[in-house]
Amino acid sequence: MTVVGVVTQPDKPAGRKQTLTLSPVKALAMKRGIPVIQPVALRRPAVIAALARFTPDVGIVAAYGRILPPDVLAIPRHGHLNVHASLLPRWRGAWPIGASILAGDAETGVSIMLLDEGMDTGGVLATRAVTIHLADTTESLERTLAKSGAELMIETLPDYLSASISPLAQDESLATYCRPVRKADGVIGWTQTSEQIERQVRAMHPWPGAITTWQGKQLRLLKAHVVVDDKNEGTKPGHVLAYDKGAAVTTGAGLLVIDELQLEGKSPAPARAFVNGYRDFVGSRLE
């Protein structure tokens, strides 16, 4: 099989200096001498004409971030196959990895589907399940699923092109959706249970982060774990307690033990070191 062309998002500013940066996809394509197109809008006639000139047999889509219009979908004679980071029809949409962690799912996975005009509604050719471990964050699970999805696409594509397999329609009654994550989604509500907040910490890593406020400054929780606690039942949520030379926070139910955190303008720190450096942290309240 030959890659005849690559379509990727336009270069974007990155870093503090907002330097225009090539995406890893573009950088690899250029290294391999593969033509690259970076359209601002896929619906423009000139873009559609440029894509058609590739005369592709099949298109492969991964994390492109836009729904392909009908004129683009129709270009490859075998359509476009998409690798989606969930076990469809669960978690259609733009943030399936974080959504699965936040919901407390025991497993997620990857799906290879034939794209249509809907939001992840096309027929599914293959799936592969992946266990969500207690230490998994959106970042770590994304790496796992990227590898699994690439392997599954390589396995699935020959069978699809030879018509050995066909797409199976999704069960619409089982469909769930997730919207793009927003910065506000990272703000911790301490009236939630400790389990919900712990999942939020993992789901929001690396962006936007699980955020609370301490003494008027932003405090980011990087790692935390849950402890079932009865003796602090009735304590107002958000109260910081001493715990194993570190700190824990009361919630709507249970204690959330902080393992690692980062105060605005400071470097990440283990909870024990933070408590030693900020003696007034224990006994305070997080907002």
Rg (CA), the chain: 23
3-state class (DSSP) for residue 118: coil
What pLDDT was estimated at residue 23? 84
> Could you give the CA distance from residue 258 to residue 102 in angstroms, rounded to a whole number?
18
139 residue type, one letter: E
**Which distant-in-sequence residues (6+ apart) come within 8 Å of 71 by Cβ?**
43, 48
Length of the chain: 287
- Predicted confidence pLDDT, tens digits, the chain (287 residues): 899 999 999 988 877 778 888 888 999 999 999 999 999 999 999 999 999 999 999 999 999 988 999 999 999 999 999 999 999 999 999 999 999 999 999 999 999 999 999 999 999 999 999 999 999 999 999 999 999 999 999 999 999 999 999 999 999 999 999 999 999 999 999 999 999 999 999 999 999 999 999 999 999 999 999 998 767 766 899 999 999 999 999 999 999 999 999 999 999 999 999 999 999 999 999 99
Go through 217-230 and write b for each residue having 16 or more CB atoms within 10 A of its CB, e for each that does not: eebbbbbbebeebe
Which residues pair with residue 214 across a beta bridge? 217
From the list 66, 71, 23, 12, the residue with the least C-alpha distance to 46 is 71
- What is the number of other CB atoms lying within 10 angstroms of the CB of residue 81? 24
Confidence at residue 146, expressed as pLDDT on a 0 to 100 scale: 97
Residues with Cβ within 8 Å of residue 271, at least 6 apart in sequence? 246, 247, 257, 258, 259, 260, 261
The H or E element containing residue 101 is helix 96-102
Domain 57-178 classified CATH 3.40.50.170?
Answer: yes
Pairing of strands 92-93, 80-84: unpaired
| Closest C-alpha to 238, from 285, 283, 271 | 285
pTM score, whole prediction: 0.93
The helix or strand, by DSSP H or E, that contains position 144, with its residue range, turns out to be helix 138-161
- Residue 230, pLDDT score: 67
DSSP-derived letter for residue 187 is: B
| DSSP E strand boundaries for the chain | 6-7, 12-14, 19-21, 36-37, 59-62, 80-84, 92-93, 107-114, 124-131, 177-178, 210-214, 217-227, 240-243, 246-250, 255-263, 269-270
Residues sharing a CB contact under 8 Å with residue 193, sequence separation 6 or more, in sequence order: 251, 252, 253, 254
The span from the CA of 114 to the CA of 126, in Å, is 10
Q: Taking the domains of the chain in order of start, what are their residue ranges?
A: 57-178, 183-277
- Predicted confidence at residue 233, as pLDDT, reads 67
**pLDDT (0 to 100) of residue 11:** 87
Domain 183-277: give its CATH superfamily.
Formyl transferase, C-terminal domain (3.10.25.10)
